[in-house]
Amino acid sequence: MYIQVRLLKGWKAPIWYSVLEGSDPLEIGSIVEVPLQNRKSPAVVIALHQILPLSITFIVRSILAVHATPNDEHYQGFIKKVASFYGIDPVYFYKRIRSFFKIGRTVGPPLVIEKQISSSIPILLTDEQKVAIDGIFPALTNGFFEPVLLYGVTGSGKTVVYKELICKVLKEQKVVLYLLPEVSLCLQFQSLLARELPDFLVLGFSSASSLSEKKQVWQSLLEGKSFILVGVHLPILLPISNLGLIIVDEEHEGGFQEKKHPKINSKEIALWRAKEYNIPIILGSATPSVQSLYRAKTLGWKFFELKKRFAGAFPQIIVAHLRENKSKRKNFWVTKELEERIREQLIKKEQTIIFLNRRGYSFFLQCKGCGFTPSCGQCSVSLTYHKELSGNEELRCHYCAFWREMPLVCPECFLSAEHFLKKGIGTQQMVLILQELFPTAVIGRMDADITAQKKLLKQMLIEFEKGAIDILVGTQSITKGYHFPNVTLVGVIWADLQCNLPVFNAHEGAIQQLIQVAGRAGRAEKPGVVVVQTMGDHPLFKYLDETKYLDFYHEEIEMRKLSNYPPFTRFLQLELMHEDSEILEQEAQEVFDYLFELNEKQKLEVMLLGPVKPIVYKISKMEMRHIFLKTTSFEKAFILFFALQTKKIKSKLFLVPTQS
DNA sequence: AGCACGCCGACT
DNA sequence: GTCGGCGTGCTC
């Protein structure tokens, strides 16, 4: 028998090899070891042939070995679809999986999950939970594609629903994929599952997994074992023969999109995978994404609501204005309302979370006098403050290439522009401020700097859980899914911050984040309070009460419709990369002109913008340029992208179809 | 992607 | 005369 393979390392053309009679069974997608000159290389089988075509005149060599691969009949179709959507080579998936199992550079000791004895207390399900579980069961048992949106307010017990379904799937000897938007959440959830479902195998598959754990995952896949696989991006890319259910938890989070190219969105491809495999998929959140709510409605997804909190009541929301009574307090960033509440907390020995999101690299402007923020007239997004090395200041829109000079005075209250606020405050400074106000309090910090060091993070979480820390100051990393029963006060330092991000979905992200962080308060018996500090009266703040989240959705979706934003149109981004800025600049323009012409000729009506030099335009010597595409359907943009493939350019070219 | 091959300049 | 830097081309 003869085969054609693609090398996992090396050049792109298929190569022929022969296979000896009686060797291990081979099929398309099998990984084999092949001889290449005087070395050997892994390769993936792309075609099987009984005879050699006459055109082959050279001597075909024989393969060296066949590597065992999980026997997943739907895998080929799935990765082909993903590859074509992101404009990448399907071999990428084999490379990625293989390199992940090969490299054993794991930092620190492997995660040890203590198997504990099951509490065996029968769980009393609420009526809402029962409805959701009963609604999903048919798709599980009969095996058909069923997307489900599970909208459960914070603390409503979504996990209980998941657990019931997981047990059902595992009892049928199948695999459950459980996706979360962050590694730290995966570790936490893994230990929770291992504790509560001690009879089942729970495996993590992320950058935090040890080599032995990865090997165990692979071995289990080969054997077709039944287990729960927890991760962010990688699990969805694995071949799994007996996939039974996919759960995407905290589905509103942006963490499912990969940060490196190709920027695959795991939530999105999870939906495709479920369809390909005829299984149900559950997207769960207390603040579902606008896109998912819209899809649930228009595509007939099952939609379940958990409106009641499992324990505890919804927290009381207090809005405090940062610009009022400034002279009456010690520090601008801590209002009297917040200061007094924190003081009470310290006396009551209850814990406080202080939320301050200093995400983003560029600053927006806000008038100190009236709270006005300059925004783009055409896009209803705030303008990004830009300062060149020469000292030249200007305001730019990230979406439509609109720009303007820095105004001399505030157009609302005519205050001189020097009173525009450009700089924010970070978590580190916040800790200092609080320490000064409350010298006796033990204050912890949790942000990207801390979570990057897994040991520190783990320690911080343990300390906070046992009550050794009074106040925890953090960025969005504390908003995600944690359950701290003794937290009864949440303070949001600067709620307007995330409302003014220069993206079309800034409002969605902002309200989700605020509701999520507010949801950390009063999750047990004790009632919770949330103090939200603001600069201006943003219309978004009327939705701070999470029971009104669907009202927010209805308003937002109308706005998106009026402005022609997703989900009514699709946004895509072409990213060109090259070390030489001159070549890059020239090629980016060339590509743009080519696309522009083709778009006109074929009447695709894709809106093209660019090429734009992004704000962060150079990362480790690599320069970047962006071309934005706005279209009614992805397909139209793909026609343009595929036409580019024949064009010979030196720059690297990536397609990012932005979701939501 | 690797690796061999070969051309050419620098250094013992 | 030999070493090695790197440009080029080939791999079933």
pLDDT at position A106, please? 40
Q: Which nucleotide is nearest to A56 (CA to C1')?
A: C12
Q: pLDDT class for A388, splitting at 50, 70, 90?
A: very low
Q: pLDDT class for A164, splitting at 50, 70, 90?
A: very high
Q: Which nucleotide is nearest to A7 (CA to C1')?
A: B1
Does the CB of A9 fall within 7 Å of any strand B atom?
Answer: yes
pLDDT at position A70, please? 92
Q: Which of these, A86, A94, A120, lies nearest to A263 by C-alpha position? A: A86
Does the CB of A38 fall within 7 Å of any strand B atom?
Answer: yes
The position carrying tokens 């199948």 is A174
pLDDT at position A450, please? 67
User: For residue A196, is pLDDT > 60?
Assistant: yes
User: For residue A280, is pLDDT > 60?
Assistant: yes
Q: Which of these, A647, A656, A552, A527, lies nearest to A593 by C-alpha position? A: A647
Q: Which one has a higher pLDDT value, A108 or A603?
A: A603
Q: What is the pLDDT of residues A50-68, one digit of tens each?
A: 999 888 888 899 999 999 8
Least confident of A420-434, A460-474, A633-647: A420-434
Distance measured from the CA of protein residue A657 to the C1' of nucleotide C10, in angstroms: 37
Distance measured from the CA of protein residue A642 to the C1' of nucleotide C5, in angstroms: 39
Does the CB of A603 fall within 7 Å of any strand B atom?
Answer: no
Q: Which nucleotide is nearest to A61 (CA to C1')?
A: C12
Q: Which one has a higher pLDDT value, A386 or A336?
A: A336
Does the CB of A37 fall within 7 Å of any strand B atom?
Answer: yes
User: For residue A90, is pLDDT > 70?
Assistant: yes
pLDDT at position A74, please? 95
Region A71-78: mean pLDDT is 94
SS3 of A327-342: the string is HHCCCCCCCHHHHHHH
Q: What is the pLDDT of residues A605-619, one digit of tens each?
A: 999 987 988 766 766
Contacts of A638 (CB under 8 A, 6+ apart): A84, A85, A87
User: For residue A112, is pLDDT > 60?
Assistant: no
Least confident of A205-219, A352-366, A490-504, A552-566: A352-366
User: For residue A47, is pLDDT > 60?
Assistant: yes
Q: Which one has a higher pLDDT value, A303 or A324?
A: A303
Distance measured from the CA of protein residue A38 to the C1' of nucleotide C3, in angstroms: 25
Q: What is the pLDDT of residues A540-592, one digit of tens each?
A: 999 999 999 999 999 999 999 999 999 999 999 999 888 778 888 888 999 99
H-assigned helices in A237-285: 266-277
**With pLDDT > 70 as the criterion, what percentage of chain A qualifies?**
88
List bases, strand B, within 7 Å of protein CB: 1-4
Distance measured from the CA of protein residue A36 to the C1' of nucleotide C3, in angstroms: 29
CB atoms near residue A620 (< 10 Å): 5
Q: Which nucleotide is nearest to A38 (CA to C1')?
A: B3
pLDDT at position A401, please? 61
CA angle (A568 as vertex; A564, A569 as ends), nearest 5: 70
pLDDT at position A299, please? 96
The position carrying tokens 């603001």 is A534
Q: pLDDT class for A484, splitting at 50, 70, 90?
A: confident
Residues 337-366 of A with CB under 7 A from strand B: none
User: For residue A424, is pLDDT > 60?
Assistant: no
Q: Which nucleotide is nearest to A62 (CA to C1')?
A: C12
The position carrying tokens 């979370």 is A353
Q: pLDDT class for A386, splitting at 50, 70, 90?
A: low
Q: Which of these, A226, A190, A191, lies nearest to A205 by C-alpha position? A: A190
Region A241-269: mean pLDDT is 94
Least confident of A167-176, A198-207, A211-220, A469-478: A469-478
**Cα gap A399→A376, rounded to integer Å:** 9
Distance measured from the CA of protein residue A587 to the C1' of nucleotide C11, in angstroms: 31
Does the CB of A39 fall within 7 Å of any strand B atom?
Answer: yes
**With pLDDT > 90 as the criterion, what percentage of chain A qualifies?**
53
pLDDT at position A92, please? 93
pLDDT at position A526, please? 83
The position carrying tokens 């070219």 is A653
**Cα gap A154→A364, rounded to integer Å:** 31
DSSP letter at A86 equals H
Region A199-222: mean pLDDT is 91
Q: pLDDT class for A376, splitting at 50, 70, 90?
A: low
pLDDT at position A167, please? 95
pLDDT at position A223, please? 95
Distance measured from the CA of protein residue A10 to the C1' of nucleotide B11, in angstroms: 36
User: For residue A157, is pLDDT > 90?
Assistant: no
What separation in angstroms does the CA of A51 have from each of A1, A16, A17, A261?
7, 11, 11, 39
Q: What is the pLDDT of residues A635-644, one digit of tens each?
A: 889 889 888 8
**Cα gap A530→A316, rounded to integer Å:** 6
User: For residue A451, is pLDDT > 70?
Assistant: no
User: For residue A362, is pLDDT > 50?
Assistant: no
Region A218-238: mean pLDDT is 96
Least confident of A293-302, A378-387, A487-496: A378-387
User: For residue A111, is pLDDT > 60?
Assistant: no
Q: Which nucleotide is nearest to A18 (CA to C1')?
A: C12
